[in-house]
Amino acid sequence: MSDDPFEAIKATFFQECEELLADLEGNLLTLESGSTDIEVINAVFRAVHSVKGGAGAFGLENLVRFAHVFETLMDELRSGRKPCDDPTVKTLLRASDVLADHVAAARGAGAAVDPVRSAGLVAELEALTYGGAAPVAAAEPEEDDFGFTPVAMDLGAFDAPAGLPDLPPLPDLAALAPLPDLSALAAAGGWKVVFRPHPRLYASANETGLLLRELARLGPTRVQMDDSGLPLLDALEPTDSHLIWTIELDGDASETEVREVFDFVEMDCDLSVTPLGDAAPVEAALAAVADEDDSDASALARAASSELDIAALLASVGAASTEAPAPVAAPVIAPAPEPVAPPPPVKPAPAPTAAAPVQTAPPAAAPVTIRVDLERVDRLINAVGELVIQQAMLAQRVTESGLARSSDIGLGLEDLELLTREIQDSVMAIRAQPVKSVFQRMPRLVREAAEATGKKVKLVTSGEDTEVDKTVIERLSDPITHMLRNAIDHGLEGPEERLAAGKPAEGTVRLAALHRSGRIVIEISDDGKGINRPRVKGIAVERGLIAEDAILSDDEIDNLIFLPGFSTATEVSDLSGRGVGMDVVRRSIQSLGGRISISSVPGKGSTFTLSLPLTLAVLDGMVVGAADQTLVAPLAAIVESLTPNEADIHYVGGVDPVLRFREAFVPLVDVAQVMGFRDDPTVLKGGVVMIVETESGQRAALLVDAIHGQRQVVIKSLESNYRHVEGVAAATILGDGRVALILDIDALVTAKRSRTPSRSDLQMAS
């Protein structure tokens, strides 16, 4: 967090903008789905309004201008002056995208806003606001009526040390006045202010005493009070107003400054401000402003005016003297001096001031969440990882020492194990976040993809609240983006084609998240034409990815699209581009320990399914032994394990071993040899084989000496503690305290394959 509080608030603003933009989009989508709920329209208005408000405070003028146009239309919609119909909502959705661009640009996080797009939307919004016919120019005066002028906040003022008591009296009012104030020139002689409050003035918690105090800040004052209108005590109605005040102000304050003192109450009083030199009699001055009952004016003429000491008056209403105006810190219960004046007609000093708030009471707006530095959470996760390891080691020592599980120590250890697991789960939960943050970005993407392809697309999302580790979430965004684009670009048909196929013109793309057996599953499905298998197969043959005569199942054909270098787009489209194919998507998913698969029904559509671990901090692994070393293989990659028959092992070209597995040959990898633990060729006797599936869906057989068992291990990065080692993904510490390497299945198999003749595994598998 920045030390500069202003910068910190700015950061808060942008964070809040993110939330507001997400709300905005969500509410617009609700409107798009046909809702006409006024509350939803109001919520949209407020979101834009809040963005504008904050942006104004930071002087972000482009953002303010765009938000203002947006807000103006929302104001029309919420008042019902303009209908919130479908074309309007569509425009609003696009406007929300541009608003997001403006926010990003203001934050310095995004590219500059496309000026043509922004101006186009401004024109569209204005056309909707002022009725399509009205030219934009004609609209501008109205905008001026709106009276919104962005004023950048004065940063320096925040640095002023709690300087209220020293503030110069209303320093900047004249400076801010839009026109040169002629009265300022004539002000040298001071002002005569005649002031008669209406009862309403008091009802809004204004006080004459405070107004007089303000005037006294402008210069020396002499105050006269006319109490002739005051009824006898028993007839006195406390909420009525009976007094008339005449204040003579010396000094060089301008008329604007004097009137500014009364600007909150100008509707609730009769007020006249005339130069002191003027001989205009008081009654004439008041008669000029009195809108009723001129008997008051004559009453004033009979007034038994009493000269007042302004300082004493101020003291009597609980304020400080004019010499040392320190209103903020002013004690409320200053002892009133001997009464020098009739009791001031102001309402009894506000009771709440006396009923002082309890200073120790916590603010009621207690947050329900706290923000914690991610580094702290990671430190905690790391420590818990150590705890898990330590607990496992302790358990092993206890077992080795021959203590029974039912012994006190054994039982205590069992409790410790449960507790450790609970702590581990809770800590992991801290890092878990709903996938909403990723899903929220998708509607815009779909809109833009639809616009670019000329297709009509509806996005339906579900399971936004499904939680997964933050790191996983961050790395989910790109693959999902790519697959959604792919679904729209390649999966969905154009409107005509869809209608011809008896489908609605608008295609549907579904994005769903769910938890399934300890993993998170993301499904992206479309109701498009499905995978064109003959074409896919043709391309794969053409690119030399499979043999021409290869016999593949439908499923295998569908999964060909994940092979490197495969792209079904005949022409390179704007959306998919070249180079980023489904193989890249698959790789990024697999780098997270995930899998991706596709299922497709011709004419009905396709479904991509991603399955990912919930966290990257722990791994379900198979502990195996190879040449005196203990290794861990990721469980997710293991299809099955078996003890091979010597008869099933063949040698390709007399060198490279393959294993016959279910009527197919898979390359056989001797882990100990590839890892360099052992030089001599495979010793098969007593060995065990694990059939694994690599990232590209190819299978291989890993030969190890023994399988010790399945275990959840805490992942320790090898790179950050040592250096990258080929064939090793990470390391962990086992219960006996030894370090075990976690195998990188893909690298192992690739290392093996790089030494085999360049025949594709698929050919062998077929």
Partner 1 sequence: MTKTVLTVDDSRTMRDMLMLALKDAGYRVVQAEDGVHGLEVLQAESPDIVITDINMPRMDGFGFIEGMRADPAFSAVPVLVLTTESDAAKKQRAREAGATGWIVKPFDPVRLVDAVRRVAA
* 210 sits near partner 1 (criterion: CB under 8 A): yes
Of 325 and 593, nearer to partner 1 (C-beta) is 325
Of 349 and 541, nearer to partner 1 (C-beta) is 349
Count of alpha carbons within 13 Å of 740, Cβ hemisphere only? 30
457/386 Cα distance (integer angstroms) = 49
- Taking CB under 8 A as the criterion, the residue among 2, 36, 79, 204 binding partner 1 is 204
Q: Using an 8 Å Cβ cutoff, are 165 and 326 in contact?
A: yes
* 733 sits near partner 1 (criterion: CB under 8 A): no
- Taking CB under 8 A as the criterion, the residue among 147, 339, 534, 757 binding partner 1 is 147
Whole-number Cα distances in Å, 458 to 25, 485, 724: 14, 13, 45
- Taking CB under 8 A as the criterion, the residue among 32, 91, 150, 684 binding partner 1 is 150
Residues 598-627 that bind partner 1 (CB under 8 A): none
- Taking CB under 8 A as the criterion, the residue among 38, 112, 138, 151 binding partner 1 is 151
* 38 sits near partner 1 (criterion: CB under 8 A): no
In this chain, which stretch among 54-62, 499-507, 550-558, 693-701 interacts with partner 1, using CB under 8 A? 54-62
Q: From the DSSP assignment, how many helices (H) and strands (E) are in the chain?
A: 29, 23
Of the candidates 129, 113, 130, 96, the one whose C-alpha atom is nearest the C-alpha of residue 18 is: 96
CB of 30 to partner 1, least distance (A): 15
Residues 298-327 that bind partner 1 (CB under 8 A): 317-319, 327
- Taking CB under 8 A as the criterion, the residue among 22, 46, 470, 622 binding partner 1 is 46
Q: Using an 8 Å Cβ cutoff, are 312 and 337 in contact?
A: yes
Handedness of CA 167, 170, 175, 180 (dihedral sign): negative
Query: Could you give the maximum distance between any two Cα atoms of the chain, in Å?
Result: 128
Of 172 and 307, nearer to partner 1 (C-beta) is 172
Count of alpha carbons within 13 Å of 466, Cβ hemisphere only? 24
- Taking CB under 8 A as the criterion, the residue among 1, 38, 114, 146 binding partner 1 is 146
Q: Where are the beta strands (DSSP E) in 203-296?
A: 221-226, 244-249, 269-275
CB of 145 to partner 1, least distance (A): 7
- Taking CB under 8 A as the criterion, the residue among 332, 418, 505, 664 binding partner 1 is 332
* 57 sits near partner 1 (criterion: CB under 8 A): yes
274/248 Cα distance (integer angstroms) = 10
Of 87 and 171, nearer to partner 1 (C-beta) is 171
CB of 736 to partner 1, least distance (A): 51
- Taking CB under 8 A as the criterion, the residue among 112, 136, 153, 288 binding partner 1 is 153
Of 115 and 362, nearer to partner 1 (C-beta) is 362
In this chain, which stretch among 201-209, 290-298, 473-481, 518-526 interacts with partner 1, using CB under 8 A? 201-209
CB of 328 to partner 1, least distance (A): 5
Where helices occur in 336-486 by DSSP H, the ranges are 351-354, 374-400, 408-431, 436-439, 442-453, 470-486
The residues, ordered by sequence, that sit 6+ positions from 467 with a Cβ below 8 Å of its Cβ are: 429, 432, 433, 434, 435, 614
- Taking CB under 8 A as the criterion, the residue among 27, 88, 129, 206 binding partner 1 is 206
Q: What strands, in cross-sheet order, belong to the sheet with 244-249?
A: 269-275, 191-197, 244-249, 221-226, 306-308
766/749 Cα distance (integer angstroms) = 19
* 13 sits near partner 1 (criterion: CB under 8 A): yes
Whole-number Cα distances in Å, 92 to 26, 122, 146, 297, 507: 12, 11, 21, 58, 21
Terminal CA-CA length for the chain: 59
CB of 17 to partner 1, least distance (A): 8
* 350 sits near partner 1 (criterion: CB under 8 A): yes
Residues 230-289 that bind partner 1 (CB under 8 A): 261, 263-264, 267-268
In this chain, which stretch among 13-21, 25-33, 241-249, 510-518 interacts with partner 1, using CB under 8 A? 13-21
Of 232 and 351, nearer to partner 1 (C-beta) is 351
Q: How far is CA 291 from the centre of its chain?
A: 55
* 133 sits near partner 1 (criterion: CB under 8 A): no
CB of 218 to partner 1, least distance (A): 12
Of 42 and 682, nearer to partner 1 (C-beta) is 42
Of 264 and 651, nearer to partner 1 (C-beta) is 264
CB of 29 to partner 1, least distance (A): 18
In this chain, which stretch among 3-11, 291-299, 516-524, 674-682 interacts with partner 1, using CB under 8 A? 3-11
Q: What's the 3-state SS for 344-382?
A: CCCCCCCHHHHCCCCCCCCCCCCCCCCCCCHHHHHHHHH
Residue 297: its H or E element:
helix 295-301
Residues 435-454 that bind partner 1 (CB under 8 A): none
Instruction: Put residue 154 in one of left, alpha, beta given phi > 0 → left and psi -120 to 50 → alpha.
Output: beta
**Binding residues for partner 1, total number by CB under 8 A:** 74
Of 213 and 503, nearer to partner 1 (C-beta) is 213
Of 332 and 409, nearer to partner 1 (C-beta) is 332
571/346 Cα distance (integer angstroms) = 82
* 124 sits near partner 1 (criterion: CB under 8 A): no
What pairs with residue 693 in β-bridges? 699
Token reading at 198:
């209406």
CB of 85 to partner 1, least distance (A): 24
> 426 — phi, psi (to 5°)?
-65, -40
CB of 215 to partner 1, least distance (A): 11
574/584 Cα distance (integer angstroms) = 17
Q: Where are the beta strands (DSSP E) in 653-687?
A: 656-661, 664-670
415/252 Cα distance (integer angstroms) = 82
In this chain, which stretch among 45-53, 392-400, 407-415, 470-478 interacts with partner 1, using CB under 8 A? 45-53
Token reading at 219:
């210069």
Residues 354-393 that bind partner 1 (CB under 8 A): 355-357, 359, 361, 363-365
Of 349 and 688, nearer to partner 1 (C-beta) is 349
Residues 154-193 that bind partner 1 (CB under 8 A): 154, 157-158, 160-164, 167, 170-172
* 76 sits near partner 1 (criterion: CB under 8 A): no
Count of alpha carbons within 13 Å of 165, Cβ hemisphere only? 12
CB of 88 to partner 1, least distance (A): 21
> CB-based burial of residue 36 (10 Å sphere; 0-12 exposed, 13-18 middle, 19+ buried)?
exposed
Token reading at 736:
């006996």
* 762 sits near partner 1 (criterion: CB under 8 A): no
CB of 41 to partner 1, least distance (A): 12
Strand, coil or helix: what is 308?
Answer: strand
Q: Are β-strands 699-704 and 688-693 bridged in parallel, bridged antiparallel, or unpaired? A: antiparallel
Of 56 and 530, nearer to partner 1 (C-beta) is 56
CB of 235 to partner 1, least distance (A): 23
Of 43 and 427, nearer to partner 1 (C-beta) is 43
In this chain, which stretch among 197-205, 296-304, 581-589, 741-749 interacts with partner 1, using CB under 8 A? 197-205
